[in-house]
Amino acid sequence: MSVSEKEAWEEVIRLVVETVSRELSVLDTLPGHSFSIPVEVSNRHCHLTRETFELLYGKGQQLTPIRQLSQVGEFACKETVTVVGPNMRFLENVRIVGPWRKHDQVELSFTDGFYLGLELPTRLSGDIVDSPPVILVGPKQAVTLKEGAIRAARHLHLSPDEAQRFQLRNGDKVDIEVPGTNGLVFREVIVRVSPTGRLAFHIDTDEANAAGIKGTGFGRLVR
């Protein structure tokens, strides 16, 4: 085989591999196909306004990022708060997730809610109207939030490109299966498409424990 023939064959093989990989990656997005969606477990955390943070930590204090999260621009901070509920119990070391938000919001599991004496509504992040009040304690002082304690609704993040690949739109609801001895199908998962979104299925610690997920896992669309 001449050098030019060899190069031509290599080009053909490269094209075949590329085409097959592309077709397979589309297969990964189809309901019932391989478990390709990363599952991420959100521990209890809060999002704060700059004003509330400065009340808790002191004027001019800044958030200290310690870990970037999967969603672009979001980061876990060194700073934490103590959350106090109406039955006089509290949870320490509740991590602040940056950047600043327009509203204060504390995301807790149902188990946390029972412990603190809070009846938590299941909401998408940002939807806090009429959610229960809660007290936050920082190193400087305590702050009472008039509302903001929620249980985060299970949701699937995607970038616009990923949404197109999965043929999903913002606000759609899907079912996602996770495998294993304690495997489950999570119903009513809300699809969130955003330019800063990256493919990830977000559940809380109660949901992760129920499905036997430790740390991270993978799921697939079943509908």
**Residue numbers of the site for Zn ion (CB under 5 A)?**
202
Give the span between the Cα atoms of 209 and 170, in whole angstroms.
27
HEC string of 65-102 equals: EEEECCCCCCEEEEEEEEEECCCCCEEEEEEEEECCCC
Of 22, 34, 69, nearest in space to 165 by CA? 22
The residues that bridge with 153 in the sheet, in sequence order, are none
Residue found by looking up tokens 């009340």 in the block: 55
**Closest distance between Zn ion and the C-beta of residue 24, in Å?**
27
Q: Which is nearer to Zn ion, 138 or 155 (CB)?
A: 155
Give dist(CA 145, CA 135) in Å, integer. Answer: 6
Sign of CA dihedral 76, 41, 106, 147: positive
Distance CA 207, CA 89 (A): 23
CB of residue 181 to Zn ion, shortest distance in Å: 26
CB of 59 to Zn ion, least distance (A): 31
CB of 3 to Zn ion, least distance (A): 53
Cβ nearer to Zn ion, comparing 116 with 158: 158
Nearer to Zn ion among residue 19 and residue 68 (C-beta): 68
Least distance from C-beta 155 to Zn ion, angstroms? 6
CB of 208 to Zn ion, least distance (A): 13
Choose between 57 and 201: whose C-beta lies nearer to Zn ion.
201
Q: Which is nearer to Zn ion, 33 or 198 (CB)?
A: 198
If DSSP codes are grouped into helix, strand and coil, which group holds residue 28? Answer: coil
Nearer to Zn ion, 53 or 201 (CB): 201
Whole-Å CA distances, 185 to 40, 121, 161, 189, 207: 15, 21, 25, 10, 11
